[in-house]
């Protein structure tokens, strides 16, 4: 088949939780509990990774690493990571159901894709326990992919490893990587797509990379909105995205463009 057969979506920041705030707040709080103030930017930087890997990435940041050594008189160890992760999980689980609203245009776009015969898959940096909250809550609000998987089912090998995408392809019987699109809102999403050899698409507005709530975004002037959209899109394209869309409603039209490229035998970066 020489066209797109399936689209694999990320969850928070891509299809639900505009701005990806559920995990960010939890990451900030676990460090605060240890007496270390981390910034919103630091908490967001590794977004998209398996959450325990995200904590390790934050602890490896020079500023946070220095603060940790200053506070505890030593570098962090695996016991520290596990303690922080347990606290993260507890904090996230307490608030997760509040961050499951589908982003604008998601439900309508998924319906359009399904009507066009496409399969809908998904991957996440969340664990199975977290998704046990997110999936049914999102379904109540109209968003339910055909398949989802977490790093728990790939021996904790989350992004940028390609295995969650491969599991989607197997489950949804997608014939080839060239006929699959991964849509995400973080750099690890594109790393995952690139590792799997599928098309990588970044959705800009409401992304973790943009880092704004819907209220904050709506409060910007049109010029400010355009500037932050452009900055975020460039970050995506410089870090592995083949294409960007501002909002999910643009995806069906982009798929038509990608179908032409597939038919012509072209691949990534053939923009």
- 26 belongs to an annotated ligand binding site: no
Based on the residue annotation, tell me whether 51 is a catalytic residue of this protein. yes
Instruction: Report how far residue 39's alpha carbon sits from residue 37's, in angstroms, rounded to the nearest whole number.
Output: 7
- Active-site option among 51, 103, 178, 182: 51
- Look at the chain and count its residues: 271
Q: Token digits for 47?
A: 């977004």
- Would you list the DSSP string of 68-136? HHHHHSS---HHHHHHHHHHHHHHHHHHGGGG-PBPTTHHHHHHHHHHTT-EEEEB-SS-HHHHHHHHH
Q: Count Cβ atoms within 10 A of the Cβ of residue 146 and give its class: 0-12 exposed, 13-18 middle, 19 or more buried.
A: middle
Going from the C-alpha of 254 to that of each of 111, 122, 260, the distances in angstroms are 16, 19, 10
Q: Which residues contact 90 (CB under 8 A, 6 or more apart)?
A: none
- 53 belongs to an annotated ligand binding site: no
Q: CB–CB of 10/189 below 8 Å?
A: yes
- Active-site option among 10, 17, 53, 242: 10
Backbone angles phi, psi at 123, to 5 degrees: -135, 165
Based on the residue annotation, tell me whether 146 is a catalytic residue of this protein. no
- 10 belongs to an annotated ligand binding site: yes
Q: Catalytic amino acids?
A: 10, 51
Residues in binding site: 10, 12, 185
Known binding-site residue numbers for Mg(2+): 10, 12, 185
């Amino acid at each position: 088949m020489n066209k797109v057969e399936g689209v694999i979506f990320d969850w928070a920041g891509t299809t639900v939780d505009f701005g990806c705030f559920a995990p960010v707040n939890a990451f900030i709080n676990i460090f605060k509990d240890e007496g270390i103030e981390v910034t919103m930017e630091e908490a967001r930087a590794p977004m998209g990774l398996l959450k325990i890997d995200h904590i390790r990435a934050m602890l490896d940041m020079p500023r946070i690493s220095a603060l940790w050594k200053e506070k505890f008189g030593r570098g962090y160890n695996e016991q520290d990571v596990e303690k922080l992760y347990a606290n993260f999980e507890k904090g996230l689980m307490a608030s997760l159901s509040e961050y499951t609203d589908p982003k604008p245009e998601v439900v309508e776009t998924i319906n359009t894709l399904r009507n066009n015969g496409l399969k809908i898959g998904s991957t996440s940096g969340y664990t199975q326990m977290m998704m046990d909250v997110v999936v049914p809550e999102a379904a109540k609000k109209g968003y339910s992919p055909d398949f989802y998987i977490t790093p728990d089912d790939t021996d904790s090998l989350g992004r940028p490893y390609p295995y969650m995408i491969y599991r989607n392809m197997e489950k949804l019987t997608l014939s080839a990587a060239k006929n699959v699109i991964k849509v995400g809102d973080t750099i690890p999403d594109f790393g995952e797509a690139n590792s799997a050899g599928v098309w990588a698409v970044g959705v800009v507005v409401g992304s973790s990379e943009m880092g704004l709530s819907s209220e904050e975004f709506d409060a910007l002037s049109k010029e400010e909105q355009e500037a932050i959209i452009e900055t975020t899109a460039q970050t995506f394209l410089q870090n592995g995205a083949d294409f960007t869309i501002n909002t999910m409603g643009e995806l069906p039209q982009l798929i038509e463009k990608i179908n032409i490229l597939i038919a012509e035998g072209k691949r990534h970066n053939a923009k």
